[in-house]
A and B are shown apart, each in its own frame.
Chain A
Amino acid sequence: MSLLIKGGRVIDPSQNIDDALDVLVENGCVKEIGKGLTAPAGADVIDAAGRIVTPGLIDMHVHLRDPGLEYKEDIISGTRAAALGGFTSIVCMPNTKPVIDNKAIAAYIINKAKQEGYCNVFPVGSITYGMSGDRLSEMGELRESGCVAVSDDGRPVANAELMRRALEYARGMGILVITHAEELSLVGEGVMNEGFTSTEIGLKGIPRIAEDIATARDVMLAEYTNSPIHIAHVSTSGSVDIIRLAKSRGVKVTCETAPHYFTLTDDAVRGYNTNAKMNPPLREADDVAAIKAGLKDGTIDCIATDHAPHHLDEKDVEFNVALNGIIGLETSLPLSLKLVEDGLLTLNQLVEKMSYNPSNIIGLKRGSLAVGSIADITLIDLAAQWTVAADALASKSKNSPFLGWKMKGAATGTILAGKVIHAGK
């Protein structure tokens, strides 16, 4: 089986390529990349003229809700949403029911994704057994069973001694720790960012220092234990500064932010919009500016969605009662492309943050179109214009603050190991 992708603008940060080239795929791998390639006999040909050809996008922060919470999302609907959004690989968080803290659950996810899914799925195991914050999970076996990292995402590891030991132990097992940085005693009963908006609309605020203090603690623990750490969903200017400083000191820290943190402020909560409720909460204009600066100067390595599906019954309620989280797989690419359109990032830098960097951070050996690489490829039409409509979303849940938004840019082809999974809407 061969596939020739002709005439697209190839963006490959791993080789620093931004050029009109053809990509020839054979047996699921990139065989050749160059100008004027001819299709071997029997090869499928995709005319990619006018489109971008990139290594398949990778989202390193997704909640698939499977097993246990399939009424929100499952591996089939979630991977389909991912493929439509241009992602060839997604990394799913362990706060399922039961928690991904053992080999059986990890195997269930990997197998179901292989058999029925639309993209690659790499599970994250929990740091602590049952995400209880109580004792370490079996990280060695989790790694062996296919988990690419450990995290108690959604819940911080409150005990600093336990976090220290988790970082040390995980280093020994060769598995990355992803931290959900949040100091719960400062969060209290807060439901949105603490600032003028929370004051005016009378909702209990979550101060930015709740994130900053936890980020500072965790990078200090990483430095002290000489262990790698990845900070999930960075939302504050303070956290960006702390991570920038840590990187300059040589700490092995990487981090991600999500499209909503560089697109929206807490003004989106006005009207008590529960689709603008997530954790960490939407912040203020200063934070959005700092997140953008962090993306530009490389402090922030990745854009991940924190795709968090919730049923309408969990969102169509009073604000305090509504669950935290929004879906993001199908809107991440156009919202991120806006950074390129606005001149903040080059296309190469964007693909780095949405493919090459996440691949390196979790050791996937993907995110590249170098000869011999697995042919996970995304085709992007930068000019495609579309409107986000609940009915058209593949995700089972529709909890997005971007419903009704006009988007520019879309994945018009998602190719998994040389096989076309999604060929445009």
Chain B
Amino acid sequence: MAEFRHKDIIALRDLTKEEIELLLSTAESMREINNRDIKKVPTLRGKTIINLFYEASTRTRTSFEIAGKRLSADTVNITTSSSSTTKGETLADTALNLLAMKPDIIVMRHSVSGSHYFLSGKMPGCSIINAGDGTHEHPSQGLLDMLTMKDRFGRLDGLKVAIVGDITHSRVARSNIQGLTKLGSQVFLAGPPTMMPPGAERLGNVTVCDTMKEAIQDADVVMMLRIQQERQGKTLMPNAREYSRYFGLNAQNLKLAKPDAMVMHPGPINRGVEMSSYVVDGPQSHILKQVENGVAVRMSMLYHVCGGELE
């Protein structure tokens, strides 16, 4: 069995295939705990976890909090709207103050790519887990997506995974590309060229497609990304209506994928924009399964950065 020797989990780009496999297989065993009547084990008893969220999040923060609690850690949530720009305390000072309280793990979401590496440098002895940094990575989302695919197909090797949407601004896409490539899947990207970053094809085993049709043709997995009118609305696309027409997933174009293809979305969904409600609620949707797996994956991450020794 591989060993997990990292203090932090900041990006799937930093992990090997074996380490990702270990995180996934531990998550599989954690899932059993979540189905018990008494959903709690003493694994992380006495450990303190701080969820430090500089960006709004419901799903991810709750999921990390539940994961920590089910492992018997003490979890504290800090939600702050002000990112450390000019006003208020700097991230470095926040880190030093939190460090003085001797936490074991900090789970952070931050709007600036790479801030977790900065935080980690300031906090020796404390593990840092990335719950999303800017447009860089969202490793727990990548892992839970991979676990959900593995559940469905029993493997990741050889899968054709289509990711459709704003690739440039998607940390979910980056983590999936890094993880899936390492585990042998093929990734096909589609989106308007305004949302496709330069050199995307060099990110891994990636094909950049000209049309959505090309990407989802015969796909095993179709993953749709969230479109935010406030972000992409100004210059990247005319409006949600036209986006939906060319890059939305509906019952009709879903037929291009394999008959048993699974449909995924990291949430929150804009129904009727990137996906029709028919698809969201349809038989091929695995969206709620993703959320369910999120707790198990995050338990696995917390467990492994703490040294990974079961009591």
- Report yes or no: A320 in contact with B112, Cβ–Cβ below 8 A: yes
A195-B199, A196-B202 are known contacts. Are A319 and B114 too (CB-CB below 8 A)? yes
- Binding-face segment, A54-62, A149-157, A197-205: A197-205
How many residues of A sit at the interface, in one of the four size bands?
20 to 34
Shortest C-beta distance, A253 to chain B (Å), equals 29
- Tell me, yes or no, whether B135 is within 8 Å of chain A by CB: yes
A196-B198, A317-B90, A321-B85 are known contacts. Are A203 and B113 too (CB-CB below 8 A)? yes
A321 — which chain B residues lie within 8 A by C-beta?
84-85, 112
- Report yes or no: A202 in contact with B90, Cβ–Cβ below 8 A: no
Query: Which residue from A194, A199, A320 sits with its C-beta under 8 Å from B203?
Result: A199
- Tell me, yes or no, whether B220 is within 8 Å of chain A by CB: no
A272 — which chain B residues lie within 8 A by C-beta?
113-115, 117-118
- Report yes or no: A317 in contact with B198, Cβ–Cβ below 8 A: no
- Report yes or no: B197 in contact with A198, Cβ–Cβ below 8 A: yes
Query: Which residue from B92, B115, B135, B199 sits with its C-beta under 8 Å from A204?
Result: B135
- Report yes or no: A201 in contact with B198, Cβ–Cβ below 8 A: no
A196-B202, A318-B84, A318-B91 are known contacts. Are A201 and B114 too (CB-CB below 8 A)? yes
Query: Which residue from B85, B91, B117, B199 sits with its C-beta under 8 Å from A196?
Result: B199
- Tell me, yes or no, whether A134 is within 8 Å of chain B by CB: no
CA of A163 to CA of B266 in the docked complex: distance in angstroms?
48
- Tell me, yes or no, whether A47 is within 8 Å of chain B by CB: no
CA of A203 to CA of B135 in the docked complex: distance in angstroms?
7
- Report yes or no: A317 in contact with B92, Cβ–Cβ below 8 A: yes
- Report yes or no: B198 in contact with A202, Cβ–Cβ below 8 A: no
- Report yes or no: B113 in contact with A201, Cβ–Cβ below 8 A: yes
Q: How many A-B residue pairs have CB under 8 A?
A: 73
Which label, helix, strand, loop or mixed, suits the secondary structure of the A interface? Answer: loop
- Tell me, yes or no, whether A250 is within 8 Å of chain B by CB: no
- Tell me, yes or no, whether B304 is within 8 Å of chain A by CB: no
Shortest C-beta distance, A197 to chain B (Å), equals 8
Q: B84, B110, B133, B199 — which one has the most chain A CB atoms within 10 A of its CB?
A: B199
Q: Which parts of B177-214 form the interface with A (CB within 8 Å)?
A: 197-200, 202-203
Shortest C-beta distance, B225 to chain A (Å), equals 14
- Report yes or no: B200 in contact with A199, Cβ–Cβ below 8 A: yes
Contact bitstring B275-290, A, C-beta under 8 A = 1, else 0:
0000000000000000
- Report yes or no: A318 in contact with B112, Cβ–Cβ below 8 A: yes
- Tell me, yes or no, whether A42 is within 8 Å of chain B by CB: no
- Tell me, yes or no, whether A341 is within 8 Å of chain B by CB: no
- Tell me, yes or no, whether A316 is within 8 Å of chain B by CB: yes
- Report yes or no: A318 in contact with B135, Cβ–Cβ below 8 A: no
- Tell me, yes or no, whether A271 is within 8 Å of chain B by CB: yes
Shortest C-beta distance, A64 to chain B (Å), equals 24
- Tell me, yes or no, whether B274 is within 8 Å of chain A by CB: no
- Report yes or no: B114 in contact with A318, Cβ–Cβ below 8 A: yes
Q: Which parts of A180-205 form the interface with B (CB within 8 Å)?
A: 194-196, 198-205
Shortest C-beta distance, A269 to chain B (Å), equals 9
B203 — which chain A residues lie within 8 A by C-beta?
199-200
A205 — which chain B residues lie within 8 A by C-beta?
197-198
- Tell me, yes or no, whether B174 is within 8 Å of chain A by CB: yes
CA of A205 to CA of B197 in the docked complex: distance in angstroms?
9
Q: List 5 A-B contacts (CB under 8 A).
A: A195-B198, A196-B198, A199-B168, A203-B134, A313-B90
Residues of A with Cβ closer than 8 Å to B?
194-196, 198-205, 271-272, 313, 316-321
Contacts A196-B202, A203-B114 known; 16 new A-B pairs at CB < 8 A: A196-B198, A198-B198, A199-B197, A199-B199, A199-B203, A201-B113, A202-B135, A203-B134, A271-B117, A272-B115, A317-B90, A317-B91, A318-B110, A318-B115, A320-B112, A321-B84
- 6 closest Cβ pairs, A-B complex: A202-B136, A196-B199, A272-B114, A199-B197, A318-B112, A202-B113
